[in-house]
């Protein structure tokens, strides 16, 4: 995994020392090597920090160009089908390296930007076509890898993380208060917004084409999932899913260094380790648990590790580990209130002591319908008549917003919390992002799955995984996010893969003969901790005393005081995360 950076200035030359400092802010994403390429007129620069996995020689360093110096590329990610693409392209392009990076260049030279449809993997990259005088900013289909940009019409900066753009000194750190309010609704800041007024995110499955001479830009979504409703025999379907997963794991473990795996003892991570074993690999596995908790995942992970005969290293979080919260504002750049941000950081730090990359099970619940809210939605006896009464769109979005909230904020609640000067920034429809990604043409379950894909996984889960792992120079690979798997399942009738009596039916059928019954019969559990880990009111009272958010007339003190009188309210976690972010990026600067 890597860090990428680029800059174009139309009227001035780029200051190389500042650009170098910007790149240094991404060194955690790529500690193995750093490189810069500057145009002759010094008005365009690409930078790259490398965490090397394929072709460890210097020939794999970036930024990379073709032999004619007409295509520049700075690339973060992995192209898992690069060997297959290379075989297809060898008759039309003279390869100089064994990297997947050069395969992107070759594919672009042969097929143009339409080559994106051929790439299988996780990626964010900047590509400069000298002849066309165009820069393309590209993000993978699911948003596994991040990409931010600033474009004021005279200058363009893009980077893997916000901190690199801020390091330019060009950005006035004005909070986007619309995004600020959104955070309390969603637990994250939805694309294309960021916490800063002048910086945006490239959305998943999207590329932005920028004229390098004028910086005018246009955006295009290059991948969507088409729904069908085919019925397939269970036996044939189970075999096909097995083959897709086996291929995905094989491709995701291509590297010139060992690949490990996270292991929670649930279906998803256990399945990945099982597939690795079937492929002849013996991975190191890593787990996190919580002290004095009967549901602690490390104990289930150990059962799986012993059964599959792999080594497992575990760490346990306790109340002292909450002190990591002060580090999270720096790690995540933007406020993100997923409750597992600290455990994810801790297990990533643990894994990096032994390996440079791990597999992880993100995406399995989305595609195999493993989330509790998906089942609740399907089993809701009032759903059908509410659809007729209220209209499908209203009811589905309302249901989903409630399921995702973890501390409910609507416009009225935001006004109770926020200082009156902030009220004008609150969106009229606070659930605009859910509504944007609700597709009424999809079937009932798939509409929720698609919302999970775009609004939960793409914005919250994958952001958490990327920042926590890359802060520790660890690459996380997610085989379930193989787009061919999603396309296959979305082509099926829901009855083919959703069974009310068996969670994640298609995955279960492919692991039931390989894992212990105690694991197969284990009730679904998200990546959470015990309630008392998050529900210590004394901790919140201490942390929110003399709040910066209150001092700057953003949040009302009486609102915080009222929450602290309750037994517990998840709104406190959201406020605390924002408090820590604000203190780090605004108050202490």
Active site residues: 2
Report d(CA 268, CA 250) in Å as an integer.
16
- The tokens 């517990």 sit on which residue? 568
Report d(CA 61, CA 401) in Å as an integer.
44
Report d(CA 331, CA 577) in Å as an integer.
12
Q: How would you classify the pairing of strands 33-38 and 44-50?
A: antiparallel
168 in helix, strand or coil?
A: coil
Q: Is 483 exposed, middle or buried (0-12, 13-18, 19+ CB in 10 A)?
A: middle
Long-range contacts of 542-549 (CB under 8 A, 24+ apart): 543/325, 543/576, 543/579, 543/580, 544/572, 544/575, 544/576, 544/579, 547/579, 548/579, 548/582, 548/583, 548/586, 548/587, 549/575, 549/578, 549/579, 549/582
Strand ranges of the sheet holding 64-65, from the earlier edge strand across to the other edge: 64-65, 71-79, 121-129, 134-139, 206-211, 217-221
3-state secondary structure 245-280: HHHHHHHHCCCCCCCEEECCCCHHHHHHHHHHHHCC
Report d(CA 428, CA 432) in Å as an integer.
8
Cis check: omega of the bond before 63, within 30 degrees of 0:
yes
The dihedral region occupied by 204, where left means phi > 0, alpha psi between -120 and 50, and beta the remainder, is beta
Report d(CA 432, CA 224) in Å as an integer.
20
User: Looking at the DSSP assignment, which residues form a beta bridge with residue 136?
Assistant: 127, 209
Q: How far is CA 300 from the centre of its chain?
A: 25
Report d(CA 140, CA 321) in Å as an integer.
33
Going by the DSSP 8-state scheme, the letter that residue 138 receives in this structure is E
- The tokens 């289909």 sit on which residue? 141
The two structure tokens encoding residue 219? 């955006």
């Amino acid at each position: 995994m890597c860090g990428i950076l680029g800059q174009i200035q139309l009227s001035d030359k780029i200051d190389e020392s500042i650009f170098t400092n910007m790149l240094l802010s991404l060194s955690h994403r790529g500690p193995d090597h750093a490189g810069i390429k500057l145009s002759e007129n010094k008005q365009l620069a690409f930078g790259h920090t490398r965490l090397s996995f394929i072709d460890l020689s210097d020939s794999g360093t970036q930024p990379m160009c073709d032999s004619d110096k007409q295509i520049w590329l700075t690339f973060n990610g992995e192209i898992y089908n690069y060997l297959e693409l290379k075989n297809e392209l060898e008759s039309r392009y003279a390869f100089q390296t064994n990297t997947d990076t050069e395969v992107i260049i070759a594919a672009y030279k042969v097929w143009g930007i339409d080559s994106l449809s051929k790439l299988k993997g996780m990626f964010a990259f900047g590509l400069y076509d000298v002849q066309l005088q165009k820069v393309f900013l590209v993000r993978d289909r699911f948003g596994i890898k991040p990409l931010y940009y600033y474009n004021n019409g005279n200058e363009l900066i893009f980077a893997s993380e916000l901190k690199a753009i801020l390091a330019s000194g060009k950005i006035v750190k004005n909070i986007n208060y619309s995004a600020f309010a959104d955070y309390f609704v969603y637990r994250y800041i939805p694309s294309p917004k960021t916490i800063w007024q002048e910086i945006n995110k490239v959305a998943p499955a999207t590329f932005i084409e920028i004229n390098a001479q004028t910086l005018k830009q246009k955006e295009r979504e290059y991948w969507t999932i088409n729904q069908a409703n085919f019925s397939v025999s269970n036996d044939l379907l189970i075999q096909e899913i097995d083959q897709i997963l086996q291929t995905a794991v094989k491709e995701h473990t291509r590297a010139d260094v060992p690949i490990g795996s996270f292991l929670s003892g649930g279906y998803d991570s256990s399945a990945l380790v099982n597939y690795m074993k079937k492929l002849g690999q013996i991975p190191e596995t890593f787990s996190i648990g919580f002290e004095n908790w009967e549901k602690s995942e490390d104990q289930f992970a150990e059962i799986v590790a012993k059964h599959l005969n792999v080594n497992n290293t575990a760490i346990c979080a306790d109340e002292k580990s909450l002190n990591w919260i002060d580090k999270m504002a720096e790690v995540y750049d933007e406020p993100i209130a997923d409750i597992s941000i600290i455990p994810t950081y801790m297990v990533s730090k643990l894994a990096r002591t032994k390996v440079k990359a791990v597999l992880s099970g993100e995406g399995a619940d989305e595609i195999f319908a493993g989330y509790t809210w998906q089942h609740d939605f399907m089993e809701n006896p009032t759903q059908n008549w509410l659809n007729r009464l209220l209209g499908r769109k209203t009811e589905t979005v309302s249901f989903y917003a409630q399921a995702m909230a973890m501390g409910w904020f609507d416009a009225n609640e935001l006004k109770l919390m926020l200082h009156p000067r902030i009220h004008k920034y609150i969106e009229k429809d606070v659930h605009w992002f859910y509504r944007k990604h609700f597709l009424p043409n999809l079937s009932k379950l798939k509409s929720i799955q698609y919302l999970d894909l775009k609004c939960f996984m793409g914005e919250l889960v994958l952001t958490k995984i990327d920042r926590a792992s890359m802060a520790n120079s660890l690459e996380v690979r997610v085989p379930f996010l193989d787009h061919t798997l999603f396309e296959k399942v979305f082509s099926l009738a829901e009855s083919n893969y959703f069974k009310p009596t068996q969670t994640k039916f298609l995955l279960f059928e492919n692991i039931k003969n390989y894992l212990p019954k105690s694991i197969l019969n284990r009730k679904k559990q998200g990546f959470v901790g015990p309630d008392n880990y998050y529900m210590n009111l004394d901790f919140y009272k201490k942390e929110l005393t003399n709040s910066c958010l209150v001092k700057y007339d953003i949040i009302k003190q009486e609102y915080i005081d009222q929450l602290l009188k309750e037994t517990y309210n998840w709104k406190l976690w959201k406020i605390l995360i924002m408090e820590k972010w604000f203190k780090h990026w605004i108050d202490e600067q």
